[in-house]
Structure 1
Amino acid sequence: MKWNSYISVWVVLCLGAGCNQSVKDVGTELPVVTKYLIEADELRAIIDQDSLVLLDLQRPDDFMKGHLPNAINLWRSALNNPSFNYDGMMPEREILETVLQRKGVSADAFLILYDNRGSCEATRLWWVLKHYGHDRMAILNGGTQAWSQVDSLTSVIADRPQGDFKFPEQAIAQTSDNILVADLSDMISQNQVVVLDTRSKEEHEGLTLKQGAQWAGHIPGSIHIDWMEAVDQTSYRFKESAELQKIYNKVLNNDLLAVTYCHSGVRSTHTYFVLTELLGRKNVTNYDGSWVEWTNHFQQELVN
């Protein structure tokens, strides 16, 4: 069953054209998608729209093995802020604009984001773009796995000219969707937040130490819910609302600010997306620095 609570790109285009025009006749004005999700069959119906730009968030070697037609590969390493002593922080606005321009993204582009990891790479870019005021985008529910069910992947590399992508001039970077390490520490000490660890169980329990972190463990008092709990392991699509509500019951029934984190702020955006866009929770923020930043600021003995 598909998510029926969002306005699909296909439906809005159909209504705008009076349902008696072909999609190609509609023009390039694509809508903002309420839940930022699009299904593979819906994307297939509009994939020839000129203003659609597909951003492939797979690793480069996976991209070479197969991707959607005319997609542009944009791996995580290009979305990093070099001004920090540790990797993983979101790039500054101007840096991201330049990256997207070089990838051939135009100012009027409607972006389709996808990956092959249950959408956690796609939600990361979605979160960063939204942070800087861009909302003309949708995530392909199920990524490459879903597309393979309706059409073929390709290994042909698209050639795009330099783009002129810009974030809205009037847009001010949101601050409510991110939290600083010092603020989080203070709020934890005052019991003002519910902290959600979206990493694996092994990482949460301190059995695995990943590159960049100074020690293994978890942020004091954090609840553990692996981000993959929200993904159907057969279709790689988001689970349905009823299932998600059961999974995140502890968070949904808590009025405190919910803070999601992982190792470097990627997987946590998936949970942030689920809570805000699919379950409608308003009081949520993502901790961009996540475990890497936390362990670079605090000693291990501070963990409960």
Structure 2
Amino acid sequence: MIYRISRIVILSVLMLSCNKQKEKITPDTELEASTYFNSEHLIEAEELLALYKQEHIKIIDFRKVTAYAKAHINGALNIWRTDIEDTTYPYKGMMAKKDSIEALFSRLGIKNEDLLVVYDDKGSSDASRLWWILKNYNFESVRILNGGLLAWEKVGGSINNKTISVTPSEFTLPAISSFDLFIGKDEIIEIANSNGSEIILDTRNIDEFSGKRQKDGAAKGGRIPKSLLIDWAEAIDYEGTQKFRSYDELEKIYSRMGASKTDLIISYCHSGVRSAHTTFVLTELLGYKNVKNYDGSWVEWSYFNGLPFEQDSITTIK
């Protein structure tokens, strides 16, 4: 049975307590009700506009430093993919270890009791990567700004190009990590070689899926065997608001998988960013119970010559 959670969108009080990690939002003014399965980790620009100056709100601009330097939400901290990457691998993009995240957040002055609001300007794909990493480390006080920087501008939110000064903190992640949304290469090898009913979902575009396009960082073009393709960008109003599509629209899109809400679904992309976005959509917005994001994704899989892959035949006409 699919449950839908209707939420009241908030415009005033955020915290029930300043010293608890899992912050709750107190309803005040009702906007359009959401019918997503769960919107606990999603925040609208109208909500943030009333809350962002509160002491325990930390806004994270998850974009390249050059984009941040041009303009960002007033008071936002800057984090980029390379800041949350484990560089010990021979390929790029792997999730940073726990102590690295703790050190980064401590340098940025983020405290355990803070609520992080993360945004980007690419339909929340990059913001979802940070949400996914923190979710694996059991840090739940994260919200993705629906529509990102564009939505903030549309509600008249303050933007500048100033770098804020921070006071370092002593940030620690929860002692126990769950990794409920994580899957690694070895597990996928077993699945790819089995006759199970698991869904391997490629969230890249059709050119990457077919092998026509080989992005930087990949050793070759192609896809993991048995993959289905649903481009991550279908889940948002990509050419418009950059917000997530409605529950019913998302249900229709992902019904193409032919999966139940309890089937194992493995999402992957080029480096685990776009597939983190799809993982957010499936688990948070639609209520799928058994979704794993392949951290290494195609960058890692293509690196190993012995791993099976598929590639469509492409004819070039001169």
Please give the TM-score of this superposition, normalised by the length of structure 2: 0.85
Tell me by how many angstroms 1:8 deviates: 4.5
Task: Give 1:244's match in structure 2, choosing from 245, 250, 256.
Answer: 250
Alignment of 1:34-49 (within 5 A): 34-49=39-54
In structure 2, the residue matched to 1:216 is: 221
Q: Which runs of 4+ in 1 moved over 2 A?
A: 3-14, 26-30, 32-35, 250-256, 297-304
In structure 2, the residue matched to 1:108 is: 113
**Uncovered stretches (5+) of structure 2, i.e. residues with no partner:** 26-37, 312-318
Between the aligned partners of 1:240 and 1:167, the Cα distance in structure 2 is 33
Residues 1:31 and 2:24 aligned together: yes
Q: Which amino acid in the other structure matches residue 297 of structure 2?
A: S
Task: Check conservation: 2:39, 2:285, Cα contact below 8 A.
Answer: no
In structure 2, the residue matched to 1:186 is: 190
In structure 1, the residue matched to 2:178 is: 174
Q: Which amino acid in the other structure matches residue 49 of structure 1?
A: Q
Query: Which whole-Å deviations, capped at 9, do the CAs of 1:209-243 have from their partners, x for residues lacking one?
Result: 11221110111110111100001120011011010
Aligned residues: 290
Tell me by how many angstroms 1:303 deviates: 2.5
Residues 1:200 and 2:193 aligned together: no
Task: Check conservation: 1:100, 1:165, Cα contact below 8 A.
Answer: yes
Q: Give the stretch that moved more between structures: 122-131 or 205-214.
A: 205-214
Higher helix share: 1
Between the aligned partners of 2:7 and 2:215, the Cα distance in structure 1 is 36
Between the aligned partners of 2:139 and 2:10, the Cα distance in structure 1 is 17
Among all aligned residue pairs of Structure 1 and Structure 2, give the percentage whose two residues are the same amino acid.
Answer: 37
Task: Check conservation: 2:77, 2:164, Cα contact below 8 A.
Answer: yes
In structure 2, the residue matched to 1:276 is: 283
Please give the TM-score of this superposition, normalised by the length of structure 1: 0.89
Alignment RMSD (CA, Å) = 2.2
Query: Which whole-Å deviations, capped at 9, do the CAs of 1:96-117 have from their partners, x for residues lacking one?
Result: 1101111121222111111111
Q: Which amino acid in the other structure matches residue 5 of structure 1?
A: S
Task: Give 1:225's match in structure 2, choosing from 214, 222, 230.
Answer: 230
Task: Check conservation: 1:8, 1:37, Cα contact below 8 A.
Answer: no
Tell me by how many angstroms 1:299 deviates: 4.2
Task: Check conservation: 1:5, 1:35, Cα contact below 8 A.
Answer: no
In structure 1, the residue matched to 2:263 is: 256
Between the aligned partners of 2:99 and 2:202, the Cα distance in structure 1 is 30
Between the aligned partners of 2:12 and 2:256, the Cα distance in structure 1 is 35
Task: Check conservation: 1:7, 1:34, Cα contact below 8 A.
Answer: no
Task: Check conservation: 1:199, 1:224, Cα contact below 8 A.
Answer: yes
Residues 1:162 and 2:155 aligned together: no
In structure 1, the residue matched to 2:127 is: 122
In structure 2, the residue matched to 1:135 is: 140
Between the aligned partners of 2:159 and 2:5, the Cα distance in structure 1 is 26
